[in-house]
Amino acid sequence: MLFLDSRFPRFSGALASVAAACLMALSAAYAPDVAAAPGKKSATETKSASKKSNAKQTTVKRKETGTRKGGKVVATRAGSKKAAARGSRQEATRTVAVRRVTVVNGKRRVVVTRVRQAEPMRAAFTPAPARPSLGEALGLRDTQDALDLRSSVALVMDQNTNEVLFQKNPLAVLPIASITKLMTALVVMDARQPMDEILEVSEADRDLEKGTSSRLQYGLQLPRHEFMLLALMSSENRAASVLGRHYPGGLPAFVQAMNRKARELGMTDSRFVDSSGLSSSNVSSAADLAKLVVAAHRNPVIRSYSTQTEHSITALNGRTLHYVNTNRLVRGGDWDIGLQKTGFISEAGRCLVMQAKVQGRDVVMVFLDSAGKLSRFADAVRVRDWLEHTPVPRGPYTRSPNAPQQVLSGMAPRGT
């Protein structure tokens, strides 16, 4: 309560006016239920409404940029997330940080919240179809045989008598992939170079043909015999390149020696262009490869290296690199294998050559252009089972009615 002194009538009216104004201000501050004048809003109400509106607009705007259906932008409010998810099961969601700036009592305030947005599903990656092998392109995989083999080409021969026990397109000339490394090993052994000589991997050993990778780093030094082991056991392409490059006269002279050795062995359907087998121009027939297996089996070093199950080397950084045999039949332990080599490039399909003892008989097996990663090994098992349980007949080989005559006749370009 205000007490006004009657002795100052001049100021009484002014003080009364000031007091009334203060009372009205206090009433407006502590009585939010007091109705405002028609058509007007209080400053507090206006600021609060503006703040809510800005926040709402910000949320809607961020969601509008993240949700697209049928090429149109659709605003999605927080309350309708579940409905949107049910309406489009093909959409993924992602979390986006929303940054909002407000001013409270004259101070700038930044608020960051995380909002889940719908995101259209990306199209699933579809790998390019694999290129058909040459045997498949020529129709050799349509050949029917008594053992139902998955290999387009097969030959089984008694090593001691050279008697052919089973044949399937034996004269078809096809790429042989890493079977080439058996010829590489023969040429290296014929050169009589020191097997303990240290050789070095260089950029010249990089695969420019297929772009394959290798764990043998540039600058790595190993003795020649370890490069030979890695080439035969684990089919290491860079190791085979090192062997060919360190031949007297370099790789060109090495390739000439490979083709010269093929002619000495009577491999008239064979041609070699590199030491690794990465080029599809390395070609041969099953009949020729049987001769190569017999010749390679005579060398104890090649026999040992091709059938070793595993080997480790030390890399440049000191880490141990472990290699295993590429032939799962060698690793399985239930075969008596004297020599083997696997091979694969797209043009050749899956390939396998082996010398093994079955029922006390030394047998040479050749499988080319097998469909599927494990089919060549399954074909070898079928042949072994057949030799163990079926009398061995002798007869003409089966041939594909769709195969061109020039392929089956053994015609192939000669090497130099």
| Token couple for 25 | 């201000």
Q: How far apart (Å, rounded) are the C-alpha atoms in residues 173 and 368?
A: 10
Percentage of residues of the chain with pLDDT beyond 90: 60
Asked if 316 contacts 219 with a C-beta cutoff of 8 angstroms, the reply is yes
Outline where DSSP puts E strands in 54-150.
68-69, 72-73, 91-104, 107-120
Whether residue 319 is predicted with pLDDT greater than 50 in this model: the reply is: yes
Predicted local distance difference test score (pLDDT) of residue 127: 55
Amino acid at 139: G
Q: Which of 133, 151, 234, 235 is catalytic?
A: 235
- Give the pLDDT mean for 320-349: 96
The C-alpha atoms of residue 367 and residue 124 are separated, in whole angstroms, by 36
DSSP class of 331: H
Task: Give the torsion sign (CA, 135, 330, 341, 277).
Answer: positive
Q: Given this model, what pLDDT does residue 108 score?
A: 75
Span 32-49, average pLDDT: 44
The pLDDT score that the predictor gives to residue 128 is 57
Q: Band of the pLDDT at 121, cuts 50, 70, 90?
A: low
On the question of pLDDT at 311 being above 60, the answer is yes
Answer whether residue 158 shows pLDDT above 60.
Answer: yes
Alpha carbons 153 and 366: distance in angstroms, whole number = 8
Q: Give the pLDDT of residue 35.
A: 41
Fold (topology level) of 138-203+215-408? Beta-lactamase (3.40.710)
Mean pLDDT of 127-140: 84
Known catalytic residue at 6: no
Distance, CA of 283 to CA of 272 (rounded, Å):
7
pLDDT on residue 65 = 43
Mean pLDDT of the region 266-279: 98
Average pLDDT score, the chain? 79
Q: In DSSP terms, which residues pair with 168 in a beta bridge?
A: 154, 398
E strands present in 176-301: 198-200, 221-223, 283-284
Cα–Cα distance, 229 to 236 (Å, whole number): 9
pLDDT for the residue 101: 74
Residue 235 annotated among the catalytic residues of the structure: yes
Q: Is the pLDDT of residue 113 over 80?
A: no
Residue 122 has a pLDDT of 52
Note the pLDDT tens digit of each residue in 241-260: 999 999 999 999 999 999 99
Q: Which of 327, 303, 367 is nearest to 166 (CA)?
A: 367
Query: In terms of pLDDT, which residue wins out, 404 or 162?
Result: 162
Spatial distance between the Cα atoms of 255 and 99, rounded to a whole number of angstroms: 68
Report pLDDT for 93.
64
Q: Of the residues 151, 178, 234, 285, which is catalytic?
A: 178
Report percent pLDDT > 70 for the chain: 67
Mean pLDDT of 97-111: 75
pLDDT range class, residue 59, cuts 50, 70, 90? very low
Cα 219–chain centre separation: 26
Six token digits for residue 6? 């009657």
How many CB atoms sit inside 10 A of residue 334's CB?
7
Task: Give residue 92's pLDDT band: very low, low, confident or very high (50, 70, 90).
Answer: low
Mean pLDDT of 331-341: 95
Catalytic residue among 168, 181, 291, 341: 181
pLDDT in tens, 72-89: 444 444 445 554 445 444
Q: How confident is the model at residue 182 (pLDDT cuts 50, 70, 90)?
A: very high
